[in-house]
Amino acid sequence: MRRIWSSLSQNPSICTSCLVTISQRRHASATAVAIAEDNSTPPQTTHIPPVSEAASPKTAYQLRAGVVLSRPPQITRDLTPFEKSFFLYQRRLNERLALPFTRYFYFKKDTPADVDWKRKIKTRLTPARDIGVYNPYSKEGWHDELLVGDRTSEVESQVEALLKDAEVEAVGDKDAQEQEQVGGGKKEAVERPMPRETEADRKGDVRSLDRKLARTLYLLVKDKTGRWCFPSDRLVGKEILHLAAERIIVQAGGINMNTWVVGNAPVGHYSRPFRTPVVDSAKGIEELGEKVFFMKARILAGQANLKENALELTDFQWLAKEEIEGIVTPEYWSDVKNMLATR
């Protein structure tokens, strides 16, 4: 480049302005010449040999289908203290705003039913039978707050009030005695409602479906390693999840359960790596862990029986959501907790 510049500067046919312009561009021209010289030599390539299959064996995860089998709530949930107080307030407010009760529309005058009605309303002061001793038409009718410790708003107290009101105690004439007596002079017994707490609740029987009637219960099983989990098994061939769930229910809990698998799409999944990879010699695959896809199912009748199960299960329990957290691993719980209903 220096030789070219010296020859150009000694040429009288090139004006001074052109020489200035060429001098400003000489650095770019030198770079272009250097690039051209580099491109003139062929690039050297490095040969990378292909990786053989023997050097990197095939790896995969074990695909499994799981079943979240549940029993839905059988009764309404328990009311909160605020709800109990609010509902009692609404019933007392309705008594204040309603029209006076027309007794003779329902009870004929001077009949045993009328006599029984007059006796009972003198005690409770209001036609309503489950709001305690309260007179909505008196000067103190607006003072309807309960004192501390008053159990009038409790469901058990209201049930007892309704049962007591259902008893017929009017006597005094032949018709009243005939109404009061049923078969051999015995009083007609008032049928009591079934309790919300069952015998299984009192005994703590976690295998029974007759416990926690206001909650959703889920079937948990213990596998041969002692781990608690939902029933699951490997997919067989090209088996779809819905059919696999139906098969797992029968193989795990027997044929005495009337169940229904909801839908064809899983409601969640769980992934767990193995401590040491497992080699499947039949498929030539090294399994790094398991991935379980859970299907939702409901039990309509029957009970689980592990006597002839084909999945090597040793025990089962019907548990509510918060009870499941205490027996499964933290990793398992973090993956399945959002699939479970709070109630």
216-258 confidence digits (pLDDT tens): 999 999 999 899 999 999 998 889 999 999 999 999 999 999 9
pLDDT tens digit sequence for 286-317: 778 889 999 999 999 999 999 989 999 999 99
* Residue 298, pLDDT score: 96
pTM over 0.85: no
pLDDT bucket at 20, cuts 50 / 70 / 90: low
pLDDT at position 181? 46
Nearest to 219 by CA among 210, 228, 227: 228
User: Is residue 27 exposed (0-12), middle (13-18) or buried (19+ Cβ within 10 Å)?
Assistant: exposed
pLDDT of residue 155: 87
Indicate where the chain has its CATH 3.90.79.10 domain(s): 59-75+197-339
| Torsions phi, psi for 302 (to 5 deg) | 95, -170
Q: How confident is the model at residue 169 (pLDDT cuts 50, 70, 90)?
A: low
pLDDT at 44 over 70: no
Q: What's the CATH architecture for 59-75+197-339?
A: Alpha-Beta Complex (3.90)
CA–CA gap between residue 237 and residue 74 (Å, rounded): 39
pLDDT of residue 58: 81
Q: Where does the pLDDT of residue 52 fall: very low under 50, low under 70, confident under 90, or very high at 90 and above? A: very low
Q: Which of 65, 126, 116 is nearest to 261 (CA)?
A: 65
